[in-house]
A and B are shown apart, each in its own frame.
Chain A
């Protein structure tokens, strides 16, 4: 799996958009970008994933650059409950039924302040 680079920490004011960057310059054509977050000591939570098109769901938006070497997770209106460690993970999604383990790096610790 391609390696990812994320800033260790970021701050965001409540109500503002939080833009979390991720660099994955060695990504391969068949590798997806996944985002998870972990609120203090809870189990990690899936947020969103994409291959090359931008994606949006009820939690966030994922913007992937055209060359796919970087991406940005956007939380449009951050709340205090969004304070967490955010992990950007690049991995292959195969046609296998068995799934594939995730390799978590150190992630970005996002602090949302009042």
Chain B
């Protein structure tokens, strides 16, 4: 158990819909990262938040957004969903910059 909690574990939704994925980081970790893993793309970094502020952006689509709340949990919002958005979405957290990031078990999103 990494200490990072992601909900829900599975999500099935229709094209055009909007979903919210939730992540609770390890206790004390201020940084939260979101990654997308699809079959043909591998693990892709989407976005990082640190103590409530956006810190780095990767290959995140404009239809996607995220935020980190005062209690440090984070949400990833995916809108106008397309079939190609079907993937595993992982959240990770880290304490300072020690290099070790701890990953949750992911949310499997299926868009039908």
Contact = CB atoms under 8 A, between A and B. Distances in A.
Interface of A: 32, 34, 38, 41-46, 49, 87, 91, 93-106
A95 B2 CA distance: 24
Interface of B: 2, 4, 30-31, 33, 35, 42-43, 45, 48, 50-51, 55-56, 58, 88, 90, 92, 94, 96-106, 108
Contacts of A32: 99
Contacts of A104: 35, 42-43, 45
Nearest to A91: B99
B33 A101 contact: yes
A28 to B, nearest CB: 15
A63 B44 CA distance: 27
B90 A43 contact: yes
Contacts of A38: 43
A98 B103 contact: no
Given A97-B30, A98-B50, A49 B2 contact: no
B101 A95 contact: no
